[in-house]
Amino acid sequence: MGVTSRPAGGRHSATPTTAAAPGAPFRLDAFLDGPARQGRRLYRGRSAGHAVEVREADGLRWFSVGGRFPQSMMRLDDPAAVVMPNQLTMLSALTWSGLPARVLDLGAGCGTFERFFAARLPGCAVTAIERSRALVRLARCHFALPETIEPLVADAATWLADAADDAPRFDLVLCDIFDGEHHPDCLFDAWFYADCERRLARGGAFALNVSPTAEDELVEMLAALRQAFAWVVLAPVVEHGNVVVLAGPRRPPGERTRRGRARALATTLAVDAGWLAPAWERLPSRHQVRRGAPG
C-alpha cells in the first residue's frame, strides 16, 4: 500500500517525467515543502489504528496513513496514470515479465495499479489484496476504483500462505505493503517470499517497494528474499528514499534488451520509457553465490 518515502538528495537514473506534471519530474521533497501538501481535506478517519486522510490540490488527489507522507496519488484529469516514482519504477518489472495476462497486487491501497491496468491493459485480470476495509471504501468513493475489480479484504501474508498449490499463477506480483509508516514483519520472513514465488507463472516477475530506514534493514529483507528467488535486482528511487526490489526465477534481461522492451511497452501503456528502464543493480545469482569466488 503506497509509499512512506523520506526526501533525499540525488537524481533518478533517467530523470524521466511522471504523469503528474508533464514535462517535469514529480519530486516528493518539493511537494512536502510547498503549500500544495496541505490541500483541501476530503476525508479524515482511521484504519487499523492509524489516522487516514484524503486531500486534493493542483489537480492531484492523495491519501496518507499514519503520517505526512502521501501513500499514493491520483491525477484528477487522468485517474489511470501512475504518478508516484516508486510505483512507476515497480512497473519496470514488465521489461522482465512482458505484458501480463494476470496480475496479483498485494497491498492494493486505493487502487493505483488497478486503475492503471484496467485502462491501459483491459484484458489483464487483476487480483487485488488489501487488508483494510476502510481503504477499499476510500478507493471506491474517492479514487475511481474500477467497478470490475473487487479487492479481497485480507492480510497479504495470510492469503498467500492459504492459497492452494493449484491456484492460478500470475505473470506479475506487485507488493507494496506497510503498517502505517513501517514495514510489516512478513517482509523479513523467507516464507513470505517463498509464497510469493510460488504464485509466479514461468517467466513472471515480482516487484517489491520498500523504504528502509537503515542499510541493515534492507540487507535483512534481501537475505530473506534471496532464499526464494534465483535472480534479484535493485532499482533505487533515490530522491524519494525508496528501493524497488525486482526478482524472478529466470535471468533478467540485459540493458539493451530492457531498453528496447521499455520503448515498446511505453507506447502500449502510455508511460514514459525512462521509468520502464531505470538503472538496475543486479545481485549475484544464487548459483554464483553457491559457487563462490576462487580463493
**Interval 124-151 mean pLDDT:** 95
Q: What is the pLDDT of residue 173?
A: 99
pLDDT by residue (tens digit) across 205-216?
999 999 998 899
In the sheet that holds 231-237, the strands lie side by side as 152-153, 125-130, 102-106, 170-175, 200-210, 242-248, 231-237, 281-282
**Interval 128-155 mean pLDDT:** 95
CB neighbour list of residue 200: distance below 8 Å, 6 or more residues apart: 169, 170, 171, 173, 206, 248, 249
Structural domains of the chain ordered from first start? 28-291 (3.40.50.150)
Do residues 124 and 117 lie in contact, with contact meaning Cβ atoms separated by under 8 Å? yes
Q: What is the pLDDT of residue 14?
A: 34
Instruction: Give residue 15's pLDDT band: very low, low, confident or very high (50, 70, 90).
Output: very low
pLDDT at 10 over 50: no
- pTM to 2 decimal places: 0.87
pLDDT by residue (tens digit) across 63-77?
888 766 788 899 999
Number of neighbours of residue 202 by Cβ within 10 angstroms: 9
